[in-house]
Amino acid sequence: MSRPDLNLLFTLDVLLAEGSVARAGQRLRLSSSAMSRALARLRKATADPLLVRAGRGLVPTPRAIELREQVHQLVQDAEAVLRPSKKLNLQQLVRTFTLRTSEGFVENFGPGLIARVNQEAPGVRLCFVLKPDKDSAPLRDGIIDLETGVVAKTIGPEVRAQALFRDRFVGVVRLGHSLSKGRITPAHYVSCGHIAVSRPGLEMGAIDEALEPLGLERQIVTTVGGFSTAIALARASDFIATVPERHTGVLREEMYSFPLPVATPEFTVSLLWHPRMDADPAHRWLRECLRDVCSNPSTRSAQPKGRKS
């Protein structure tokens, strides 16, 4: 079966609107003979005369009347598809975006992001979901719109990534803990029980690697699945939680935080999305909001050596 010539839709739209081959030709800047040939092709394609002689003019057939609104809408839709998107009107934008991120990221940056979004686009809603792994399939399948995290080797090659900020691990204990008084040495650090966080893709081995040349090893007393749980346990015990600094600033309020007594590499937290959303104006706007919120000094939790935060 041959594919229909969709250009005929534009010709049919004008013919049905004008009800005249001559006037339709003038609008389309085609000669009378060219318009007659186009009408002949349309009659063949639809198996209907479409326009028939009535006195000195032409009148539409029932089939033509039936097609008139449908064809006009199809032409308008096609023109809209092939036209650059309209300027984004944030005040009229109604949309829900799903972001996959850690609980610490939401607690630290969520309030600022939600406030900014509500101010600029009241009709936009943000849905935060936790990330159980670093699988990029939800981005690829459109289940989520954006993701934050450390770029993993397993991420799909097509996924876009843009750095948001640098982060580092810090130690955190309850106020009044023995480590909150005086200088913290590697020996002091390992002398207390530690709460480990185990999540797929989480790289905390660098801490133990830095301790190994010193002949030291952390004593893990319990393992949990998230930083908020680790901090909650540390708040109610004498154990140490080692957590990302900027991700957990709010969670660590009214606790004692300190830089680790051994050198460990910083890591980059990035914003991830699928390339099909690159040109979407609303998606671009949300990415800009996220970048601005993460770069805002008020959301940083810069830590001098040993402090209450």
Domain boundaries, the chain: 7-81, 92-309
Dig out the tokens for 23 from the structure: 């006037």
- pLDDT score at 308: 53
Picking from 60, 52, 81, the residue whose alpha carbon sits closest to that of residue 13 is: 60
- pLDDT score at 305: 41
How far apart CA 232 and CA 174 sit, in angstroms, is 9
CB atoms within 10 A of CB 241: 29
How far apart CA 223 and CA 235 sit, in angstroms, is 15
How many helical (H) and strand (E) elements, i.e. helices and strands, does the chain have?
10, 13
- pLDDT score at 126: 96
Phi then psi dihedrals of residue 143, to 5 deg: -70, -35
What is the helix (H) or strand (E) element at residue 11, kind and residue range?
helix 7-18
- pLDDT score at 203: 54
| Best CATH choice for the domain 7-81 from the list 1.20.1250.20, 3.30.200.20, 1.10.10.10, 2.40.10.10 | 1.10.10.10
Which residue in this structure is represented by tokens 């309020």? 253
What is the helix (H) or strand (E) element at residue 212, kind and residue range?
none
Per run of 10 residues, the mean pLDDT along the chain (length 309 residues) is 79 89 88 90 90 86 90 84 79 95 88 96 94 77 90 76 93 94 92 85 75 94 91 96 90 94 92 90 95 74 45
- pLDDT score at 58: 87
DSSP tag of 85: P
- The end-to-end CA distance of the chain, in Å, is 72
281: helix, coil or strand?
Answer: helix
How far apart CA 171 and CA 218 sit, in angstroms, is 12
- pLDDT score at 131: 76
CATH classification code of 92-309: 3.40.190.290
